[in-house]
C-alpha cells in the first residue's frame, strides 16, 4: 500500500498565472523545476497569497505557547542556550572516559554515550557474534564494572547524559542508576536520556533483539518505573535520525517519527499509565540534513503536530505533555569521503538549521566520519562549530527569527499536512506496530533511498566533490584507529568479573527477571538488582531471549 505520493501532493499547486512574475518567464531559469533534497517542488516566489488558509494566531502563535510552532520557550535561547552534546565512545571504558573529560574541558555541556555493536545487540564481548566488533563503533560496556569506569571522576549529579541504546536500554539504564547511587546522587534529581526507541530499529537501524510486542512492553516498564523513581529522566528519545539516514525524505522522517511517538503514548495509556505522568518525559531526536528551509519547516511542524495530537487525540491537560523537546544531530549520510574538509561547511549549515529550528540539544558531526570514528581534533572542531554559531553569529539573540517568512510558513503547513496524511494511512493499518509488521515504512524508505541515489547519478542532485567539482587525488585526513587490543582487554576483564562476583546473587537476580517477564511485574526492578550483582549485558538480555525469543526480519529489497 502506498500513500498518495505525499511529496508531490503537498507540493506547490500554485499556477504561474497567480504568481507575481519577478523574472522574465520560465525560460530565464536554469532548471525546468526546482525541488528540495526530498524531491518537493519549490516555487519561484512565495507571497502572502501562498498562505491561503493560514492564520497567524492559530498556526504561528507566540513562542512558548500552544501550538509552539515558534518554539517551546518564550525567551528562545536568551534564557538557556541549547546543550552542546557530542556523541562519543570507542574502545574501552578507560579510553572513552578520557575523551569525555576532554570534551567537558573543551566546553561541552552534556555527555552522549556511543556503545559498540555487541553492547547495542545485547551480546557480551566474548560471544561468537562479537568477534571483530568489540569497541569498534562505540565503547564496550559489558557490566556495571565497565559503567563505573566510564563515569569515573564525572559527577552524575551535575551532568546530564544521553545514552544511545535501544533493545538493551533498560539494562544500561539500570547500570547507570546504580553508578549514580554509588556516587551518592539522588535518582529523583538526576537527569539524562536513554534512546529506548525500538520502533525506529524495526523501521530503519535494525538493532532489535525481541519481537515488537514484548519490546514495547519493556519500554512501558521503563515509563512506569521512571515516573515513580527517576522523574526527571527522559525515558525515550523518539528518533527520526536513523529513519532519515536510512533514506527517508524529510516528510517521511517527520511523519514516521511522530507516529512512533503516538504509538508509544498509546501503549503507555493501554498499560494504565496517566498521560500527563509519562508524556512530559518523552523527547525526540531529529536529523539536520542539508536542505536548509525544508529542515526548519520540519522542526516547526513537529512541534505543532505533537501539541495538537497530545491535546486533542490523547486529552493531555499538562502543557508539559504538549511541548515537543528534541535533540538534533547533523546528517552523517551527507558527509563525503571525498574532499573531507568540505564536511565542516556542510555540518555548519546543518547545525544552523537545527538552531534556527529551536533544538534543545545538538550534536555536530566531525569532518572525518565518512572514513572512521572521529579523532579528538576533528571532534573538537565540530564542537567549535556550535560555539561559533552560539557566540558569534547572533542567530540565537531573537526567538524564531525566520518566523513569518512566506516561504517557511508555507513549507511548515505542507509538512504538517503531509505528515497527517501518513498518520491516516498508518492508523488505517492498525497503528505503527502493525504497519511495521507488514513492512510499510521500511518499503517507503527504501524507495526514497533508491530514488535519491538515482537523482545523484543523473546529477539532478549535486554533491560537491562527488558528482561535481571532483578532484583527483584527495588530500587525506588523519584517521582514528581503534586499538585491536581493546577487545582482548574487555574479554579478559569480563572473565575476571565472572570469576569473582557472587554467583548466587547473579542467578537469583536473573531468575527474578525471567519471572517478571513471564508475568506482568515491572522488569526494571529485577534489572536494577541484576546490575548491582554485576550480571552482564549479555546475561540479562539472554534471560529475556529465553522468555520472548528473537526477532528476524524478512530480507526485502
Partner 1 sequence: MSKIRVVIAKPGLDGHDRGAKVIARALRDAGMEVIYTGLRQTPLQIVSAAIQEDADVIGLSILSGAHNHICPEVMRLLKEKGLDDVMVVVGGIIPDLDVTRLAEVGIHGVFRPGTSMQEIIDYITSHVRSRAETV
Q: How far is CA 157 from CA 179, 190, 231, 232, in A?
A: 11, 6, 14, 12
| 485 is an interface residue for partner 1 by CB under 8 A | no
- Tell whether residue 199 is a contact of partner 1 (CB under 8 A): no
Rounded Cα distance between 1 and 128, Å, is: 39
- Binding to partner 1 by residue 467, rule CB under 8 A? yes
476 binding partner 1? (CB under 8 A): yes
- Contact residue for partner 1 among 453, 500, 518, 549 (CB under 8 A): 453
Pick the binder of partner 1 from 16, 18, 186, 457 (CB under 8 A): 457
> Which is nearer to partner 1, 67 or 118 (by Cβ)?
118
Contacts (CB under 8 A) with partner 1, residues 10-69:
none
Contacts of 137 (CB under 8 A, 6+ apart): 90, 114, 116, 117, 373
294 φ/ψ angles, rounded to the nearest 5 degrees: -60, -40
Nearer to partner 1, 15 or 472 (CB): 472
Q: DSSP string of 200-242?
A: HIIIII----S-HHHHHHHHHHHHHHHHHH-TTSB-EEEE-HH
Distance CA 516, CA 78 (A): 47
Candidates 57, 472, 481, 504; binder of partner 1 (CB under 8 A) is: 481
Q: Which residues 92-131 are close enough to bind partner 1 by CB under 8 A?
A: 117-118, 120-121, 123, 129-131
Residues 126-165 that bind partner 1 (CB under 8 A): 129-133, 136-137
Q: Check binding of 182 to partner 1 (CB under 8 A).
A: no
Minimal distance in Å, beta carbon 448 to partner 1? 10
Site string for partner 1, 235-254 (x = CB under 8 A): ----------xxx-------
The residue from 149, 336, 342, 375 that contacts partner 1 (CB under 8 A) is 336
Please give the grid coordinates belonging to residue 194. 536513554
Applying CB under 8 A, among 13, 479, 488, 496 the residue interacting with partner 1 is 479
Phi-psi region of 463 (alpha: psi -120 to 50; beta: other; left: phi over 0): beta
Instruction: Report whether 166 contacts 209 (CB < 8 A).
Output: no
Q: Which DSSP letter does residue 312 get?
A: I
Distance between CA atoms of residues 32 and 82, nearest Å: 40
CA distance 88 to 110: 11
By CB under 8 A, residue 338 contacts partner 1: yes
**472 near partner 1, judged by CB under 8 A:** no
Cβ closer to partner 1: 56 or 553? 553
Per CB under 8 A, does 376 bind partner 1?
no
553 binds partner 1 per the rule CB under 8 A = yes
| Chain residues 353-372 in contact with partner 1, contact rule CB under 8 A | 370-372
- Tell me the DSSP string of 472-493: SSPPP-------THHHHHHHHH
> What's the chain's length in residues?
557
Residue by residue, DSSP assigns 155-205 as -TTT--EEEE-STTHHHHHHHHHHHHHHHT--TTT--EEE----HHIIIII
* Closest to 174 (Cα-Cα) out of 545, 503, 551, 539: 539
Stretch touching partner 1 by CB under 8 A, among 81-89, 149-157, 273-281, 336-344: 336-344
Q: Give the shortest CB-274-to-partner 1 separation in angstroms.
A: 35
Under DSSP, the state recorded for 114 is: E
Judged by CB under 8 A, which stretch of 1-9, 101-109, 299-307, 455-463 contacts partner 1? 455-463
The minimum distance between CB 404 and partner 1, in angstroms, equals 37
Residues that bind partner 1 (CB under 8 A): 117-118, 120-121, 123, 129-133, 136-137, 201, 205-207, 245-247, 333, 335-338, 370-373, 446, 449-450, 453-454, 456-457, 463, 465-467, 476, 479, 481-482, 552-557
Amino acid at each position: 500500500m502506498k500513500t498518495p505520493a505525499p511529496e508531490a501532493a503537498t507540493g506547490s499547486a500554485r499556477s504561474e498565472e497567480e504568481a507575481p512574475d519577478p523574472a522574465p518567464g520560465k525560460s530565464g531559469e536554469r532548471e525546468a523545476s526546482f525541488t528540495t533534497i526530498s524531491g518537493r517542488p519549490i516555487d519561484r516566489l512565495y507571497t502572502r497569497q501562498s498562505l491561503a488558509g493560514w492564520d497567524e494566531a492559530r498556526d504561528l502563535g507566540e513562542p512558548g505557547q500552544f501550538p509552539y510552532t515558534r518554539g517551546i520557550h518564550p525567551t528562545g535561547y536568551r534564557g538557556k542556550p541549547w546543550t552542546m552534546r557530542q556523541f562519543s565512545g570507542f574502545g574501552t571504558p578507560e579510553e572513552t572516559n578520557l575523551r569525555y573529560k576532554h570534551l567537558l574541558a573543551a566546553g561541552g555541556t552534556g555527555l552522549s554515550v556511543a556503545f559498540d555493536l555487541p553492547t547495542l545487540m545485547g551480546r557480551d564481548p566474548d560471544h561468537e557474534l562479537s568477534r571483530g566488533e568489540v569497541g569498534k563503533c562505540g565503547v564496550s560496556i559489558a557490566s556495571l564494572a565497565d559503567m563505573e569506569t566510564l563515569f569515573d571522576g564525572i559527577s552524575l549529579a551535575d551532568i546530564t547524559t544521553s545514552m544511545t541504546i535501544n533493545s538493551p536500554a533498560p539494562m544500561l539504564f539500570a547500570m547507570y542508576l546504580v553508578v549514580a547511587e554509588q556516587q551518592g546522587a539522588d535518582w529523583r534529581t538526576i537527569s539524562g536520556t536513554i534512546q529506548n526507541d525500538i520502533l525506529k530499529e524495526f523501521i530503519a537501524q535494525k538493532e532489535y533483539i525481541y519481537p515488537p510486542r514484548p519490546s514495547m512492553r519493556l519500554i512501558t516498564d521503563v515509563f512506569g518505573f521512571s515516573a515513580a523513581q527517576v522523574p526527571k529522566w527522559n525515558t525515550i528519545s523518539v528518533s527520526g535520525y536513523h529513519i532519515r539516514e536510512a533514506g527517508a525524505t524529510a516528510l517521511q522522517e517527520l511523519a514516521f517519527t511522530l507516529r512512533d511517538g503516538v504509538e508509544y503514548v498509546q501503549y503507555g495509556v493501554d498499560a494504565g499509565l496517566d498521560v500527563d505522568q509519562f508524556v512530559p518525559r518523552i523527547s525526540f531526536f531529529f536529523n539536520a540534513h542539508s536542505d536548509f528551509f525544508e529542515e526548519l519547516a520540519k522542526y516547526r511542524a513537529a512541534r505543532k503536530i505533537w501539541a495538537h495530537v497530545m491535546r486533542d487525540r490523547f486529552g493531555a491537560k499538562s502543557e508539559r505533555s504538549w511541548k515537543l523537546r528534541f535533540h538534533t544531530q547533523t546528517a552523517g549520510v551527507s558527509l563525503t569521503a571525498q574532499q573531507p574538509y568540505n564536511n565542516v561547511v556542510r555540518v555548519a549549515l546543518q547545525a544552523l538549521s537545527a538552531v534556527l529550528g529551536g533544538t534543545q540539544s545538538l550534536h555536530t558531526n566531525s569532518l572525518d566520519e565518512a572514513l572512521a570514528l572521529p579523532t579528538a581534533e576533528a571532534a573538537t572542531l565540530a564542537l567549535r562549530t556550535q560555539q561559533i554559531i552560539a557566540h558569534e553569529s547572533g542567530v540565537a539573540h531573537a526567538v524564531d527569527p525566520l518566523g513569518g517568512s512566506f516561504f517557511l510558513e508555507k513549507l511548515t503547513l505542507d509538512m504538517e499536512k503531509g505528515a497527517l496524511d501518513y498518520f491516516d494511512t498508518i492508523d488505517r493499518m492498525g497503528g505503527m506496530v502493525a504497519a511495521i509488521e507488514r513492512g510499510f515504512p521500511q518499503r517507503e524508505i527504501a524507495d526514497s533511498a533508491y530514488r535519491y541515489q538515482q537523482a545523484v547519478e543523473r546529477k539532478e542532485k549535486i554533491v560537491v566533490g562527488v558528482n561535481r567539482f571532483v578532484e583527483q587525488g584527495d588530500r587525506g585526513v588523519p584517521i582514528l584507529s581503534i586499538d585491536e587490543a581493546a577487545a582482548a582487554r574487555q574479554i579478559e576483564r569480563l572473565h575476571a568479573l565472572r570469576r569473582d562476583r557472587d554467583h548466587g546473587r547473579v542467578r537469583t537476580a536473573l531468575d527474578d527477571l525471567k519471572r517478571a517477564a513471564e508475568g506482568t511485574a515491572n522488569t526494571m526492578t529485577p534489572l536494577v538488582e541484576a546490575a548491582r550483582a554485576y550480571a552482564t549485558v549479555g546475561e540479562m538480555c539472554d534471560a529475556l531471549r529465553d522468555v520472548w525469543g528473537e526477532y528476524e526480519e524478512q530480507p526485502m529489497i
